[in-house]
Structure 1
Amino acid sequence: MKEINASEISKNVIQMIKKDWMLVGAGEDKFNMMTASWGMMGHLWNKDVMNVYVRPQRYTYEFMENNDTFSCSFFDESYRDALKLCGSKSGRDINKAEACGFTTRFIEHAPVFDQAACTIICRKIAVYDIDPSQFTDSSVDKNNYPLKDYHRVYTGEIIKVLVKD
């Protein structure tokens, strides 16, 4: 893998998150990851940042809470079944990295998977909860939060972007 600047990511970021999906991972001695298709990347507070959204009932939530860094890993289409598994099974019950055949290493104290085409490593700089009283479009709450299990938002400063050579 080689390191690039965040501004050198050549793929459409909306496509990467929405269609290709990503694995959001945190932890080092013990870690977990989950598939996500909600997120944002941009420039905020004079930093290149990534926002990820994690519901409190997800096992990954405790790893996001207890670690200062996290990773967002993007894979090519041949890993779609692995991403489906990581989005439907809990790391409380299985070792998802092992089940998917991922080779895991840790960079900046965040999990990195050798099979990923692109990995973005972030340092947490802000954490906040979705507040339904702030929705100006009531359909957002109605259509996305029937269980009232609002996401926690993690804003991370992008500290490293790794891509396959």
Structure 2
Amino acid sequence: MKKIEFNQVLNNYREVLPQGVFLTTKADGEVNTMTMGWGTVGYIWNQNIIMAPVRKSRHTHQLIENSDYFTASVPLNGQLKKELQFCGTKSGRDYDKIDELNLELLEVEECEVPVIKGNDLHFIARIKYKQDMNIDKLAKDIVEKKYPKQDMHTFYYGEVVAVYQE
């Protein structure tokens, strides 16, 4: 992998995010990944930021709450569709997704959270802020369509400390 500049990849990330990327975290020696189908990238607090939403009911939520970092591994060319589908529908409580899918993890120098080999881009993010959604502040149409069980997200804002390209 080679390190590249954040600004070189913004448009690629925005285009592929709705198709899914791997959000990976690690806590107490356990690595878990899930599919993230929405979020944002941008510039806040004079820093390049990636915002990752994680529902409180997800196993990943427990791990990311006990970590200072997360990674986002991005398949730009349509690869790993089966793996994204699995990671978006199965829980880390019930499956070791890394073993089950035979995913290969790559270590990075910035943190203990690995990235998933076979993706084109990898964002390494240090959590700078987290915010639980407040259902009372959310438009009713979104609550009705996206949160019928009121299973809200926590937003994790991570400073992008490195971007790697495979």
User: Where on the TM-score scale, by shorter chain, does this alignment land: which range?
Assistant: over 0.9
Matched residue pairs, number? 162
Could you say which residue in structure 2 is the equivalent of 1:43? 43
Residue 152 of structure 1 pairs with residue 143 of structure 2: no
Could you say which residue in structure 1 is the equivalent of 2:52? 52
Residue 13 of structure 1: how far off its partner (Å) = 2.8
Q: Is the 8 A contact 2:130 2:155 kept in 1?
A: yes
Q: Structure 2: give runs of 5+ residues left out of the alignment.
A: none
Could you say which residue in structure 2 is the equivalent of 1:6? 6
Which residue identity does 1:59 align to in structure 2? Answer: H
Runs of 4+ off more than 2 Å: 10-14
Superposition CA RMSD, Å: 1.4
Q: What TM-score does the superposition give when structure 2 sets the normalisation length?
A: 0.92
Could you say which residue in structure 1 is the equivalent of 2:91? 90
Residue 121 of structure 1 pairs with residue 120 of structure 2: no
Which residue identity does 2:102 align to in structure 1? Answer: G
**Partners in 2 of 1:39 and 1:49 — Cα distance?**
11
Residue 5 of structure 1: how far off its partner (Å) = 1.1
Residue 16 of structure 1: how far off its partner (Å) = 1.7
Q: Is the 8 A contact 2:10 2:41 kept in 1?
A: no
SS of 1:149's equivalent in the other structure is: coil
SS of 2:65's equivalent in the other structure is: helix
Residue 143 of structure 1 pairs with residue 145 of structure 2: yes
Q: Is the 8 A contact 2:13 2:74 kept in 1?
A: no
Q: Structure 1: give runs of 5+ residues left out of the alignment.
A: none
**Partners in 1 of 2:161 and 2:101 — Cα distance?**
26
**Partners in 2 of 1:9 and 1:78 — Cα distance?**
18
> Kindly, what percent of the aligned residue pairs are identical?
27
Residue 56 of structure 1: how far off its partner (Å) = 0.8
Residue 112 of structure 1 pairs with residue 111 of structure 2: no
